Homo-oligomer: A and B are copies of this chain.
Amino acid sequence: MNTPSLQQRFGELRSNKLFELFVVAVIIGSALLVGAKTYELHPLTQQAITWLDRLVTLIFLAEISIRFLGEEQKRHFFRNGWNVFDTLIVVVSLIPIDNSDMALVARLVRVFRVLRMVSIIPELRLLLNSLLKALPQLGYVLLLMFIIFYIYAAMGSTLFEHINEELWGDVSIALLTLFRVMTFEDWTDVMYETMVVYPLSWVYYITFIFFTAFAFLNMVIGIVVNVMNDEHAKVLKQKAKEAHEPTLVDLYAKLEAMEAQLQRQAGAENASRRDSLSG
């Protein structure tokens, strides 16, 4: 009779407001530690940071354990992607690293602890989910954009390779150069260089900028329209719920009922009139 009560106690602790606030505070602390390590520090301070870092790892380990033990059905725990992410971050932090080569990787893993902020705060999780949900709808626009990029990159690395090997060496470098042109970052330097050899190469850049700007614009408008429609549908649903406002369908049904009654009434009257006439 010991285990179930422990599970319940952990389950309660898990949804405790104070416990959540404490975990958020520890995550912020761990973020500050990550930031502090990028400064040049006194050896003593560095020592302190290393110890604090271990303390954070321990607290995270305890927290994940509590969450896991507090779960009623253990199998459901790892179905939640955020739980898997949290566990991974903690487990990787536990691996002891002495090798200096792996020290860099270990430091980078600690950076991702800041992402636990998103896994803990429900509003941020919601925001990220809605961002990710908008992506696949735009899949075809992104594919079209990639096709435009690929064609221009293949053309660019065929035509301009001998002009500047560093910018147009092969198709992947050309893709990067075109991304740079799309952000307008020193794109004229790239253009003027090729215009010395091909005076008409401005056509290549101007058309590329037009096509990508147009596709990008289309994507933005696509997102705006989607969001607007969702929002609109939500507002309509909520309005209908709140006001118990009848729809046109309700009004039409009511009218038909009234018409039927009128006809029945008229029928009854006619019958009674006939009765009284024949009576």
Contact = CB atoms under 8 A, between A and B. Distances in A.
B115 A144 contact: no
A86 to B, nearest CB: 15
- Minimum-distance CB pairs A-B, first 9: A38-B157, A35-B171, A246-B252, A183-B184, A38-B171, A111-B154, A38-B170, A39-B170, A272-B273
Interface in A159-178: 159, 161, 169-172, 174, 176
Interface in A86-144: 104, 107-108, 111-112, 114-115, 117-118, 123-124, 127-128, 131, 140-141, 143-144
B218 A131 contact: yes
Interface residues of A, number: 94
A206 B179 CA distance: 9
B179 A187 contact: no
A40 B162 CA distance: 12
B35 A154 contact: yes
Interface of A: 31, 34-35, 37-40, 104, 107-108, 111-112, 114-115, 117-118, 123-124, 127-128, 131, 140-141, 143-144, 147, 150-151, 153-155, 157-159, 161, 169-172, 174, 176, 179-180, 183-188, 202, 206, 209, 214-215, 217-218, 220-221, 223-225, 227-229, 231, 235, 243, 245-252, 254-259, 261-263, 265-266, 268-270, 272-273, 275-277
B249 A250 contact: no
Contacts of A266: 261, 265, 268
A229 B229 contact: no
Contacts of A221: 223-224, 227
Given A107-B158, A123-B140, A131-B214, A115 B147 contact: yes
B252 A254 contact: yes
User: Assembly of this chain: how many copies?
Assistant: 4
A235 B258 CA distance: 32
B170 A144 contact: no
B143 A111 contact: no
Contact of A256 (B170, B254, B268): B254
A158 B231 contact: no
Contacts of A34: 154, 171
A262 B187 CA distance: 78
Nearest to A273: B272
13 contacts: A35-B172, A37-B158, A38-B161, A111-B154, A185-B187, A225-B228, A229-B231, A229-B235, A246-B248, A254-B255, A261-B266, A269-B269, A275-B277
